[in-house]
Amino acid sequence: MSEELTAQTIRITGFGGDALEAYLSVPDDGAAPRGSVVVIHHMPGYDSSSKEIVRKFAANGYAALMPNLYFREAPGASPDDAAATARANGGVPDERLVGDVAGASDYLRALPGSTGKVGVIGYCSGGRQSFLAACSLQLDAAVDCYGACIVNAPPEGMPLKVKPIVELAPQLSCPLLGLFGADDKYPAPEETAELSAVLDGLGKPHEFHTYEGAGHAFFSVDRPAYRPEAATDGWRRIFDFYARYLAS
């Protein structure tokens, strides 16, 4: 694989017909048949490290697109200022997230070379949103990286607008890969085990891996939470998973 790619900022149509900023990276492969991935950024926003993830997918043969989920509140703002504004406004409503991922997946399916197969991946708050999108849209593979509040309600006392969404599990439209840290408290291993049991009961294909010695955000290369062994193995599993479900 050459790992040659093109990356650019584009506009897509998201929830409610809104024009959204999005970061697109596509392999320089002459539009050979390839799968696609919608990347859902973490709560700190549409930042440089998230764009690096988008490029990593393109370097590995996928067209990847990440909508700026905070674009409406903070067009043109730096990622940290945008994230602060979105937080102060109460975060991203679930309905809006689903509409934005739908717009991103439609854009990817229309690209030259698309196999029509689209996966989704999200980190941190995006992990929950990846599950939400996969239960709300027709997708082909979903990856949840340490998303909390899927099964459990937020801790008592938190005026959180996010609610558990495990009741959506019967509508899960595709296989789910879950990557978690054994030391994470949100989601704790007990919560992810409960989600696994629910999916088992529904006959929904899924693979969950919980890494010892890793906590929340172990994929974040620029944070103290980074755990190279877990992250390296996690990436291997992500690409293996997408190869199975997003190829031709």
Partner 1 sequence: MCTYNTENIAITGSGKGANGWFSLSDATVYFDHPVHAMAEHTLNIDFRNPAGGPSARVAVELTAESARALAAAIEAALASVPAALVS
Which residues are near partner 1 by CB under 8 A?
42-44, 47, 73-74, 77-78, 80-85, 87-88, 91, 124-125, 148, 154, 157-162, 184-187, 215-217, 223-225
Nearest to 35 by CA among 99, 121, 100, 93: 121
Q: Which is nearer to partner 1, 28 or 80 (CB)?
A: 80
- What's phi and psi for 61, nearest 5 deg? 100, 10
Q: Which is nearer to partner 1, 30 or 156 (CB)?
A: 156
Q: C-beta of 185: minimal distance to partner 1 in Å?
A: 6
Q: Which is nearer to partner 1, 4 or 212 (CB)?
A: 212
Q: Where does the chain have alpha helices with state H?
A: 48-59, 79-88, 94-109, 125-136, 189-202, 228-246
Q: C-beta of 221: minimal distance to partner 1 in Å?
A: 13
Q: C-beta of 158: minimal distance to partner 1 in Å?
A: 5
Q: Which is nearer to partner 1, 33 or 228 (CB)?
A: 228
Calculate ∠ Cα 38-39-41, nearest 5°.
145
Reading the block at residue 192, the tokens are 């992810």
Q: Which is nearer to partner 1, 22 or 83 (CB)?
A: 83
Beta partners for 12?
A: 20
Q: C-beta of 164: minimal distance to partner 1 in Å?
A: 13
Reading the block at residue 97, the tokens are 């997230």
Q: C-beta of 222: minimal distance to partner 1 in Å?
A: 9
Side chain identity at residue 145, one-letter code: C
Q: C-beta of 50: minimal distance to partner 1 in Å?
A: 12
Q: Which is nearer to partner 1, 65 or 124 (CB)?
A: 124
Give Cα separations from 27 to 89, 115, 180, 210 (angstroms). Answer: 36, 14, 29, 31
DSSP state of 68: -
